[in-house]
Amino acid sequence: MPELERHSFDVLVIGAGGAGLRAAIEAREHGMRTAVLCKSLFGKAHTVMAEGGIAAAMGNVNSSDSWQVHFRDTMRGGKFLNNWRMAELHAQEAPQRVWELETYGALFDRTKDGRISQRNFGGHEYPRLAHVGDRTGLELIRTLQQKIVSLQQEDFKEFGNYEERLRVFQEFTVTDLVKDGDRIAGAFGYWRESGRFVLFEAPAVILATGGIGKSFKVTSNSWEYTGDGHALALRAGASLINMEFIQFHPTGMVWPPSVKGILVTESVRGDGGVLRNSDGKRFMFDYIPEVFKDKYADNEEEGDRWYTDQANNRRPPELLPRDEVARAINSEVKAGRGSPHGGVFLDVSTRLPAEEIRKRLPSMHHQFKELADVDITAQPMEVGPTCHYVMGGVEVDPDTGSSSVAGLYAAGEVSGGMHGSNRLGGNSLSDLLVFGRRAGAGAAEYVRALDQRPAVSEDTVTEARATALKPFQQEGGENPYTLHMELQQSMNDLVGIIRRQAEMEEALQRLEKLKERAQSLTVEGHQQFNPGWHLALDLRNMLLVSECVAKAALLRTESRGGHTRDDHPSMDAEWRRKLLVCNVDENGVSVEEKPQIPIRSDLLDLFDRAELEKYLTAEELS
Amino acid sequence: MSYQGKFRVWRGDDSGGGLEDFTVEVNEGEVVLDIIHRLQATQAPDLAVRWNCKAGKCGSCSAEINGRPRLLCMTRMSVFDESETITVTPMRTFPIIRDLVTDVSFNYTKAREVPSFAPPKDLAPGEYRMQQVDVERSQEFRKCIECFLCQNTCHVVRDHEENKEAFSGPRFLMRVAELEMHPLDTADRVDQAQDDHGLGYCNITKCCSEVCPEHIHITDNALIPMKERVADRKYDPIVWLGNKLFKRS
């Protein structure tokens, strides 16, 4: 057996997207020796795909904006299931986090008076999204990457070594977290390039691994989104909440087949784009739900006036929260009013001059031109729902990002609670920054307060190695690609955008069979850069997380945000008071109800009583 | 609309390798990366390829298709004739790891050598004011997805390993230009560009601009303006005389 590579750090960050990099910067600035472990190359994380912007109530475009308004919008978007403390911290701190990016070198689009420009987005009352055209995620990731490089340059000056206090291990996969008793002691994984194993000893681990979209067939997520952090947390004894809530973004590409699911930014609608069915009708006016009736225009004239006069008009219903728009598109297609390739039409060509479209939506223009032969300045796009984001994740302490396991932290998409049952567009990038920073600080404080470092036992390492090598040791089993495709099809068809009891029960049966078959997966070749082996290991995580989603979705007998039950179509105020918590032990996945923490009264006072009556029980209101 | 396409894919590692022939199904609307993935799923499960977003936004899947540097995810199969044999090889300028995956650490080394943004000390976060027209120049360069195709195609390093130490390549010379043109950056980057990053090696053949999947005008908007600033500083006779007379370096 080749000798095991070993490293020792104060803080390990798993994932190098926005949350991971911001956490690493914070931990390093707190004096921690910090390592970032990521599956892709440094700077390629899924955050680059974010297009529209970062929501932060800076009030640069409309000075009526404030953190209180942002908080209200976030709670409404999440149908009041959000962890209110997270929503509060997020709304309060997002402006600071955006301004800080400018000191790292970010270049946002500007207002006429030279401040950061802000754009409209679904569910946000005022123009609130700081942006760079429609490539805001790229700006965010590059800015954080360059900040990390600048910290490394400081270390080079001081120690003659760029990696003295902050090191990135790229193209590296973590397969298991390692514990010493009840506490985190490090992580075990392999270099994707060579397949060689590495043990990291560290008292604190921050999970920033993003989402789970690769368990679904039609998704905007990249291959990295296999629920690694969710599964690592579960296996380490932490709990997940809200796993039944999955956001289907209303506008993914539907044609050609090979790009089905790729995201079409919400900015298209924020900047004036409209949705039409095959009859040419702007159908969203027929889908304004009762709870939003007084906030959205009920006719095209008023909706159109809103773009120039927001004080005296209500916003167009194309800008309803994502769950509403996705369901509406789904219904139109089902009713036979869809586009030729099974979506609806999203048209900006008749709404803005061609030059303006190319300026505001350059990467959409490029994406459609190159991938679908469609010129969005002259033709409508065809779009349909795509699995985009998981609201559920590791249950954390809002202020520090700590999970229930000592030394284990989570930030960004892998954490749960902030977005309740549905995330607003633009609230993801701000979430990454606000809670990435908080987790970095939380982990640093934890490490500083330790009087004794945890130790890693050799047995744990032997076991982790054996688990990772298992697919090579078996013969005659199945190819991981086949299993992955079946999993994606089952989740898409049976636990997708519209759910029914019988279908979810069938999904759980299929998952049981897939789990059995996964026991005997076989991969060919050797450990060096072997995608079949990588997928076999990722499948273990996808299967575990999919089971949480299906089990939680089966239990929640109401429809709310990213969880729509055909057999329980309405929202139930009693269910708002309950969280579904997933845990794993030797018997597998269990899901239990837990009471939701009541909203603090001064935050409740930010809403009209009439609005609260739509969400809260009479008991809570009394 | 499907057909059986003919492919030749380079397979091997740092000890050597060669082109391998495959016949594989091609469907309407597909890109080359789809075909590589189909090969993995059906014929060559251990075929190594680096990719991520599959939407031309992350710059991971760089390779050479029929000898031309391109992103695998943005090259549509419809640009080829159905009878054509399509050859896919790894980027030539970087060391091979395996199959289509190369060791691009050269680029990360060079990135670290560019001094970072130097913010103005008297401005607090939130106080930055810049005009759109002024940020647009650097914003064009920040569209870069770091696919490194420009680095791969640049003849200064493509077949000249010996130049790699002194020359940062178009991507990182553009990064220097981006910082130089940042309205609030306080550092002086002109001498750095010439002395530390080898701007003088570039003889503006524009190959980098030609392969850029983001259509950034690397040569026209970044490299040539930097060369002009260097020329103004280093070769302007009046500046030269002034420096001599007043003993400035």
Catalytic residue (choose from A119, A249, A560, A563): A249
Spans of all domains in chain A? 247-387, 474-576
Please name the residues between 146 and 165 in chain A that touch chain B, using a CB distance below 8 Å: 146-147, 149-150, 152-153, 156, 162
B84 and B109 in a common domain = no
The answer to whether the CB of B26 falls within 8 A of the CB of B35 is yes
Domain assignment present for residue B131? The answer is yes
Other CB atoms within a 10 A radius of the CB of residue A356 amount to 14
3-state SS, residue A59 = coil
What does the pLDDT average to over A461-490? 92
Contact B112 A153 (CB under 8 A): yes
Stretch A318-326: mean pLDDT: 91
Of A13, A45, A113, the C-alpha closest to A428 is A45
Whether A342 contacts chain B with CB within 8 A = no
> Which residues from B are below 8 Å from A42, CB to CB?
108
Residue of B46, B58, B112 lying closest to A162 (CB–CB) = B112
Chain A residue closest in CA terms to B125? A99
DSSP characters over chain B: --EEEEEEEEEEETTEEEEEEEEEEE-TT-BHHHHHHHHHHHT-TT-----S-SSSSS---EEEETTEEEEGGG-BGGGS-TTPEEEEE--SSS-EEETTEE--HHHHHHHHHSPPP---TT--TT-----HHHHHHHHHHHT-----HHHHH-HHHHS-GGGTTT--HHHHHHHHHHHHT-TT--S--HHHHHHTT-GGG-----HHHHH-TT---IIIIIIHHHHHHHHHHHH-HHHHHHHHHTT--
Task: Out of B102, B130, B165, pick the residue that ends a domain.
Answer: B102
Cross-chain residue pair B55–A102, CB shorter than 8 Å: no
Instruction: Give percent above pLDDT 70 in chain A.
Output: 100
Mean of the pLDDT values across residues A148-163? 97
Regarding whether B33 and B19 lie in a shared domain, the answer is yes
Each residue's pLDDT tens digit, A564-606: 999 999 999 999 999 999 999 999 999 999 999 999 999 999 9
Q: What is the DSSP letter of A413?
A: G
Residues B38 and B153 in one domain: no
The verdict on residue B245 lying in a domain is: no
pLDDT of the residue at B247: 67
Closest approach of B180 to chain A, Cα-based (Å): 12
Q: What is the mean pLDDT of residues A107-115?
A: 98
Taking contacts as CB-CB distances below 8 angstroms, the residues of chain B near A191 are: none
- Nearest by CB to residue B117, choosing from A105, A139, A224, is A105
Domain check: are B29 and B40 in the same one? Answer: yes
Mind listing the pLDDT tens digit for each residue in A244-285? Answer: 999 999 999 998 888 899 999 988 998 899 999 999 999 999
Assess whether B127 and B214 both reside in one domain: yes
Identify all chain B residues contacting A132, using CB atoms and an 8 Å cutoff: 139, 142
Q: How far off is chain A from B117, nearest CA to CA, in Å?
A: 6
**Nearest chain B alpha carbon to A194:** B97
CA separation, residue A219 to residues A348, A452, B125, B222 (Å): 23, 44, 37, 37
- A219 has a chain B CB within 8 A of its CB: no
**pLDDT, tens digit (0-9, with 9 covering 90-100), for B41-91:** 889 988 999 999 888 999 999 999 999 999 999 999 999 999 999 999 999
Mean pLDDT computed over A500-529 = 93
Q: Do A529 and B52 touch (CB under 8 A)?
A: no
Range 526-545 of A in CB contact (< 8 A) with B: 526, 528-533
Residues B215 and B144 in one domain: yes
Q: Can you tell me the distance from the alpha carbon of A39 to that of A302, in angstroms, rounded to the nearest whole number?
A: 48
pLDDT in tens, A539-575: 999 999 999 999 999 999 999 999 999 999 999 999 9
CB spacing of B117 vs A372 below 8 angstroms: no
What CATH number does the domain containing B69 carry?
A: 3.10.20.30
Instruction: Answer whether residue A192 shows pLDDT above 70.
Output: yes
CATH classification at residue B227 = 1.10.1060.10
Using a CB-CB cut-off of 8 Å, the residues of chain B touching A528 are 13, 48, 98
ipTM of this complex prediction, to 2 decimal places: 0.94
Decide if A146 and B27 are in contact by the 8 Å CB cutoff. no
Percent of all residues in chain B with a pLDDT value above 90, rounded to a whole number: 88
Segment among A27-36, A161-170, A301-310, A431-440 with least mean pLDDT: A301-310
Position B249 pLDDT exceeds 80: no
Please give the residue of chain A at the shortest CA–CA distance from B131. A114
| pLDDT for position B7 | 98
- pLDDT for A52-107, tens place per residue? 899 999 999 999 999 999 999 999 999 999 999 999 999 999 999 999 999 999 99
Q: What is the pLDDT of residue A601?
A: 95
User: What is the DSSP pairing of strand A246-253 with strand A274-276?
Assistant: unpaired
Mean pLDDT value across chain A: 95
Predicted TM-score (pTM) of the model is 0.95
A522 interfaces chain B, CB cutoff of 8 Å: no
pLDDT of residue B248: 58
Please tell me if residue A15 touches chain B, with a CB cutoff of 8 Å: no
How do residues B224-242 score in pLDDT, each as one tens digit?
999 999 998 888 888 778 8
Domain assignment of residue B192, given as a range? 105-238
Identify which of A104, A146, A532 has the shortest CB distance to residue B46.
A532
CB distance from A256 to chain B under 8 Å? yes
Quickly state the pLDDT bin for A526 (edges 50, 70, 90): confident
- CB neighbourhood size of A177 (10 A): 28
| Optimal mutation site among B128, B131, B137, B175, interface A, most CBs of chain A within 10 A | B128
User: A104 CB near a chain B CB, below 8 Å?
Assistant: yes
A462 — contact with chain B (CB < 8 Å)? no
Q: What is the mean pLDDT of residues A288-313?
A: 92
Residue B208 in domain: yes
Residue of A370, A255, A486, A558 lying closest to B75 (CA atoms): A370
- Which residues are bridge partners to B21 per DSSP? B8
Q: Is the pLDDT of residue A340 over 90?
A: yes
The CATH number given to A247-387 is 3.90.700.10
Residues B72 and B128 in one domain: no
Question: Is pLDDT above 70 for A237?
Answer: yes
Structural domain contains residue B19: yes
Query: Do residues B90 and B186 share a domain?
Result: no
Specify the CATH class of A474-576 in words: mainly alpha
Would B243 be classed as within a structural domain?
no
Q: Is residue B45 situated within a structural domain?
A: yes
Q: Which of A213, A238, A284, A576 is nearest to A415 (CA)?
A: A238
Boundary (domain end) residue, out of B82, B102, B122 = B102
In the prediction, which pLDDT does A427 show?
Answer: 98
CA nearest B45 in A: which residue?
A: A532
Which string of b and e fits A134-169 if b means at least 16 CB within 10 Å? bbbbbbbbbbbbbbbbbbbbbbeeeeeebeebbbbb
The yes-or-no verdict on residue A1 having pLDDT over 80 is: no
* Active-site residue, A124 included: no
Test mutation, A170, A258, A364, chain B, max B CBs within 10 A:
A258
Q: Which two tokens stand for residue A256?
A: 């050609």
Shortest Cα–Cα distance, A307 to chain B (Å)? 21
The pLDDT, as a whole number, for residue A2 is 66
Question: B117 and B233: one domain?
Answer: yes
Q: How many angstroms separate the CA atoms of A125 and A19, rounded?
A: 26
Scanning every residue of chain A, which has its alpha carbon at the shortest distance from the alpha carbon of B128?
A115
Asked about A269 being catalytic, the answer comes back as: yes
Q: How many domains, chain B? A: 2
Which residues on chain B are in Cβ contact (under 8 Å) with A48? 53, 57-58, 145
Chain B residue numbers with beta carbons less than 8 Å from the beta carbon of A109 are 132, 135, 139
All residues of chain B having their beta carbon less than 8 Å from the beta carbon of residue A16 are none
Residue numbers in A near B57 (CB within 8 A): 48-49, 135, 137-138, 363
SS3 A142: helix
pLDDT (tens digit, 9 = 90+) per residue, B38-48?
999 889 988 99
Choosing from B102, B134, B160, the residue where a domain stops is B102
Separation CA A334–CA A115 (nearest Å): 45
Taking CB atoms and an 8 Å cutoff, what residues of chain B touch A118?
A: none
Q: Indicate whether B98 and B167 sit together in one domain.
A: no
User: Sign of dihedral through CA atoms B9, B22, A219, A188?
Assistant: negative
At residue B184, does pLDDT exceed 80? yes
What is the sign of the dihedral through the CA atoms of B127, B133, B138 and B139? positive
Average pLDDT of span A472-492: 91
Out of A119, A128, A167, A269, the active site residue is: A269
Position B201 in a domain = yes
- Residue B82 and residue B13 in one domain: yes
**pLDDT (average), residues B148-163:** 97
Mean pLDDT for chain B overall:
95
Interface test with B, best of A110, A118, A163, A483 (most B CBs within 10 A): A110
Q: Could you tell me the two tokens for B78?
A: 């419809």
Which class for A450: exposed (0-12), middle (13-18), buried (19 or more C-beta within 10 A)? middle
Distance between A479 CA and the closest CA of chain B, angstroms: 8
